[in-house]
Amino acid sequence: MNIHEYQAKEILARFGVKVPVGYVADTPEEAVEVAKRIKEETDTPAYVVKAQIHAGGRGKGGGVKLAQDFDEVKDLAGKIIGMTLVTPQTGAEGKLVNKVLITEDSFYPGPSDIRELYVSILLDRNTGTNVIMASTEGGMDIEEVAEKTPEKIIKEWIDPAVGLQGFQARKVAYALGLEGAAHKDMVKFLFALYKAYEGSDASQVEINPALKTADDQILALDAKVNIDDNALYRHKDIATMRDITEEAPEEVEAGEYGLNYVKLDGNVGCMVNGAGLAMATMDIIKLSGGEPANFLDVGGTANAQTVEAGFRIIMKDPNVKAILINIFGGIVRCDRVANGVVEAYKNIGDIKIPIIVRLQGTNAEEAAKIINESGLEVESAIVLKDAAEKVKEAVA
Ligand code: ADP
Ligand code: MG
């Protein structure tokens, strides 16, 4: 699960990660109120107004602005709330901004230089361990750094048996070119960040930039935190941070029916039971000249309702030129699914694209008979190769 920057910072702060003082606001008036509170707490000379959307690159898109006084906070918050923010990560359609985070300005002058660093922790699937990644090239496109100058990304793998060790944190701080108080604070920062990562069951925490302030503190100026969905049951407080307005509506609807749906940009919709079969079906669609429009796993207990919900969700996608239903009747009987398909088809009505149904397993013959005798424009195929041929004709 993805969360907003202000929520991510709230979690990090609980584990002792230093973040700039800031509060979220829904309206320009509220933005001014919280700016006044920040002024009382910090005496900051300026404020940063930050659009809260589930995407990075906001600075480049005009979603992060510096305000010198309360009037400017109000003005900028008014402009940013309600805007459709387009960043390199949102796609061309952009994302509607509903909230802003107002924070103190952390670029205050002081005895030493200010630096924007990069720090993240994630699971390295190759080694099966967590890895800390860090770079002196923070604040900018880290993907570009990784691609063009990979040597500028430091990696430190964490042994799960012993956790993050002092020498490792010091090694990272040293590689980031930090000395004295800043070095010490980075070591503390890394330990707190690691604790937050493990303690919240995150699958990723990314701090870009981690700021070295002019008085040698290390702050999380930005924060991207992803929480492992499978662990949300033990973090009820984090689960409430979910913002469904940030998620694709089809995926939210699918979730309500217990369907596992991921939208893709091809032309053949598919509905399958079991993730492995779904992957294989997507391969078959590609081999037969189509492109999968989605991944949709209806799970082991497909019934008329779930099939109908799946249908509706797939049909909302205007790119879909054909639908391939591929269900293996192991636990669920094929004739029941066939009845579900026929029923769903009738309920939805006015379906103008070819539907190819492949039902294999328990009662497959009966299922094919139900489909063929339904009088609907649904083609049945028992063998996957036949199904693929029919998809090929349908998208030709
Ligand atoms: P994004 O990654 O979505 O562009 P960031 O939070 O990283 O958003 O902000 C972009 C840039 O804005 C940062 O690299 C930093 O230069 C500046 N910035 C962000 N927060 C602050 C702050 N509290 N004080 C001063 N500058 C900030
Ligand atoms: Mg950033």
What single string gives the DSSP state of each residue in 249-290? HHHHHHHHTT-EEEE-SSSEEEEESSHHHHHHHHHHHHHTT-
Is 204 a residue whose pLDDT tops 70? yes
Q: How far apart are CA 153 and CA 147, in angstroms?
A: 10
Yes or no: say if 380 and 358 are a contact pair by the CB < 8 Å rule.
yes
Is 316 a residue whose pLDDT tops 90? no
Tell me, yes or no, whether 187 and 257 share the same domain.
Answer: no
Tell me, yes or no, whether 153 and 13 share the same domain.
Answer: yes
Q: Which ligand is located closest to the Cα atom of residue 67? A: 1
Asked if omega into 109 is within 30° of 0 (cis), the reply is no
- Asked whether 213 lines ligand 1 (CB < 6 A), one says no
Q: How confident is the model at residue 352 (pLDDT cuts 50, 70, 90)?
A: confident
- Asked whether 130 lines ligand 1 (CB < 6 A), one says no
Is 14 a residue whose pLDDT tops 70? yes
Ligand 2 centroid to residue 177 C-alpha, Å: 20
Number of domains the chain contains: 3
Of 105, 131, 162, the residue that ends a domain is 105
- The catalytic residues are 118, 206
Q: How confident is the model at residue 382 (pLDDT cuts 50, 70, 90)?
A: low
Of 202, 220, 246, the residue that ends a domain is 246
Q: How confident is the model at residue 52 (pLDDT cuts 50, 70, 90)?
A: very high
Residue to mutate (ligand 1; options 222, 224, 225; most atoms within 8 A of CB): 222
Q: Which three-class secondary structure state does DSSP give residue 382?
A: coil
**Each residue of 171-190: pLDDT tens digit?**
999 999 999 999 999 999 99
Is 298 a residue whose pLDDT tops 90? no
Minimal-distance CA residue to ligand 1 atom 5: 222
Of 194, 227, 246, the residue that ends a domain is 246
Is 305 a residue whose pLDDT tops 90? no
Q: How far apart are CA 280 and CA 275, in angstroms?
A: 9
Binding residue numbers for Mg(2+): 208, 222
Tell me, yes or no, whether 266 and 185 share the same domain.
Answer: no
What pLDDT does 255 receive? Answer: 86
Tell me, yes or no, whether 89 and 211 share the same domain.
Answer: no
CATH number at residue 231: 3.30.470.20
Q: Domain residues for 276? A: 248-395
Tell me, yes or no, whether 139 and 71 share the same domain.
Answer: no
Tell me, yes or no, whether 341 and 379 share the same domain.
Answer: yes
- Asked whether 137 lines ligand 1 (CB < 6 A), one says no
Q: Give the percent of the chain with pLDDT over 90.
A: 67
Tell me, yes or no, whether 91 and 167 share the same domain.
Answer: no
CATH number at residue 379: 3.40.50.261
Q: Residue 306: which of 339, 277, 279 has the closest Cα? A: 339
Tell me, yes or no, whether 255 and 228 share the same domain.
Answer: no
Q: Give the percent of the chain with pLDDT over 70.
A: 99
Ligand 1 centroid to residue 381 C-alpha, Å: 55
What pLDDT does 178 receive? Answer: 98
Tell me, yes or no, whether 131 and 12 share the same domain.
Answer: yes
